[in-house]
Amino acid sequence: MAWLRCILHIDLDAFYASVEEVVNPDLAGLPIIVVMGEANTQRGAVATASYAARRFGVHSAMPVGQARKLCPQGVYLPVRHGLYEEHSQKVMDLLRQQTPLIEQVSIDECYADITALQGELDGPQIAAQWQELVKTQTGLGASVGVAANKLVAKMASGHNKPSGLTVVEPGYEAEFLSPMPVGDLYGVGPKWAARLNSLGVMTVGDLAAADLDILRENFGPHLGQDLQERAAGRSSETVITSRETKSLSAERTFFEDTYNRAELWRHIQQMSEELAGRLHKQELLARTIAIKLRFNNWRTITRAITLASPTDLADEIAFAAGGLMRMAWKRGTPLRLLGVRVSNFSETGAPRQLLFPYSYRTR
């Protein structure tokens, strides 16, 4: 039977590690750990762990030194952003061949509104067909959630990983969500979960049944009601097929404080190359370049520079970011995070000049 509204959330499983298996089949089934930072040292953090590695207790954001203790036999690989973006694009292009109603929300996940595609096949049958299509055409596994709205579809896709297909039929949203810890509800972060726990709200079902006046008193009139609506599985968000890009950014988090000038410059160059590639793909030029620094006392600053003319060249982005670093960072000061951001876009037909003069902006 066709659903009045049918939304899919498609989440590619252990995406970075799975791509590494696709390009090197000899890695299939091995514990793969993709590392942000230096894969062959104790530095850096785990970006993604394959499911074989997760059985040893390795997980995302874990310091790589700890991962090596848990899984010394693992295959440790550096992040390859360009490769992952290429495979992500293959998946998204494949899905857009099925329907234009695709909303990509990250490199490895998207929503799809398949309401109008239902006919001989209903929504769950189409979802199963797409799941198999992605696997056969790209080699990548995906978990899929099927529901009447985006919120519940998102919750469903994570329910039975990897390669799960979870269907929440209309009218059963609250029942599906009810036993989950309240902190698992999409949009509820750790701070809100802790506050809800202090009010005796431990599960999503507790939140759905909570006194609305108490929720409004503690979270404000609008947020309190929104939380309860979400807990009941109600959401009216639509699939957004295009968004105006306002900025692009790349960051590196260091799980050991970093102060080596050459290493920081290498990260700036890598991030600049990544951003230049993304600008090329979107046919954009950036006029404003910014850096973000977080020190070991968690103080965070940003510095920005506006170029005389826009650019999509990695060398120019890195040159500008390096100049900002010389102004903002005192050599030898340890950093926990370094980021580069580009913004103030124009299309690639815009004229280009030399980088100078600059207009500086700080905050």
Residues forming beta bridges with residue 359, ordered by sequence position: 306
Choosing from 21, 103, 109, 316, the catalytic residue is 109
The residue type of 52 is A
- Measure the CA–CA gap between 146 and 125, rounded to whole angstroms: 10
The residue type of 16 is Y
| Residue 42 and residue 54 in contact, taking contact as beta carbons nearer than 8 Å | no
Interacting residues of 223 by C-beta distance below 8 A, sequence separation 6+: none
- Measure the CA–CA gap between 316 and 353, rounded to whole angstroms: 11
3-class secondary-structure state, position 10 = strand
Nearest Cα neighbor of 136 from 91, 97, 102, 96 is: 91
- For residue 287, the tally of other CB atoms under 10 A from its CB is 18
Residue 48's Cβ-side half-sphere holds a number of Cα atoms within 13 Å equal to 22
Q: In the structure encoding, which two tokens stand for residue 200, read together?
A: 């005796």
Q: In the structure encoding, which two tokens stand for residue 86, read together?
A: 């290429």
The residue type of 275 is L
Catalytic residue flag (residue 109): yes
- For residue 110, the tally of other CB atoms under 10 A from its CB is 22
Residues forming beta bridges with residue 301, ordered by sequence position: 293
Would you please indicate which residues are annotated as catalytic (active-site) residues? Answer: 109
